[in-house]
Amino acid sequence: MNEFKVLIGCETSGTVRDAFRRLGFDAWSCDILPSDQPSNRHIQDDIRYVLKADKWDLCMVAHPPCTRLCLSGARWLKVAPPGRTIEEMRKELKIGCRLIADIWNADVPRIAIENPIMLGEAREEIQKISDREFPYSPTQYVQPYEFAKNIDAPDNVTKKTSLWLKNLPPLVKTGTLTEATARKDIHFASPGPDRWKIRSKFHVGLADAMAKQWGEVLLGEKI
């Protein structure tokens, strides 16, 4: 194992963490929820405390809570779901923005924040409260199918995702597929208690690309 410490925040699946570990990095995941599978490499705590408790070389935030931040949830800021109020929805939006700003401001040399298409209002709020300049536009957009090679693979799906990067290069596509064959499984996930987990699922091809390409930045050499 090399000396570089990598923190994958807001992750319970271990997908991105394990991609970095397979390449020899001292990688950990953290979330306020327990790991989906038993692991001594998962820290159950608020990522902000974990960031301050150790010195990290790279922080990749794979699944920050995005229900109120993303475009698909915009309607709830105008008409609250049953049993909820607009005031509660807007409070949750501000809490999510505060989390993103705190991560972006963390004392970590390389940071990546992944999020679905974010509301303009959320971006403006993060810019307003962040100590460090937060770009309105993400560094790049990626799709899982861009990192897939098998039409029948779980990765061959559409889910346009934003990446805000600090001192990390945009990812280079590693797949061979196009949107023409990609499924829309995530978009049409059935309502239910696990829908959030299905929609936040991280795909192996994209995780492997992050580990390899950003791992090479840490090492200063090809892997």
DSSP state letters, 85-149: -HHHHHHHHHHHHHHHHHHHTSS-SSEEEEEESB-HHHHHHHHHH-SS---SS-SEEE-GGGG--
Tell me, yes or no, whether 177 lies in a domain: no
If you average pLDDT over residues 60-71, what whole number do you get? 74
SS3 assignment, position 56: coil
Total of domains in the chain:
1
pLDDT confidence of residue 4: 98
Compare 195 and 220 and report the one with higher pLDDT. Answer: 220
The domain that holds 90 is classified in CATH as 3.40.50
Measure the CA–CA gap between 9 and 147, rounded to whole angstroms: 21
DSSP lists the bridge partners of residue 8 as 29, 60
Tell me, yes or no, whether 35 lies in a domain: yes
If you average pLDDT over residues 77-81, what whole number do you get? 81
Tell me, yes or no, whether 47 lies in a domain: yes
Range of the domain at 109: 5-142+163-168+203-219
Query: Is the C-alpha dihedral spanning 169, 170, 172, 174 positive or negative?
Result: positive
Confidence of residue 75 (pLDDT cuts 50, 70, 90): confident
Query: Is the C-alpha dihedral spanning 43, 44, 46, 52 positive or negative?
Result: negative
Tell me, yes or no, whether 39 lies in a domain: yes
Is this structure's pTM higher than 0.75?
A: yes
Tell me, yes or no, whether 112 lies in a domain: yes
Instruction: Look at 35-49, 128-142, 183-197 and tell me which has the smallest mean pLDDT.
Output: 183-197
If you average pLDDT over residues 40-69, what whole number do you get? 90
Category of 88 on φ-ψ map: left (φ > 0), alpha (ψ -120 to 50) or beta: alpha
Tell me, yes or no, whether 110 lies in a domain: yes
Using alpha carbons, list the distances in angstroms from residue 203 to 80, 87, 125, 173, 222: 31, 34, 29, 14, 23
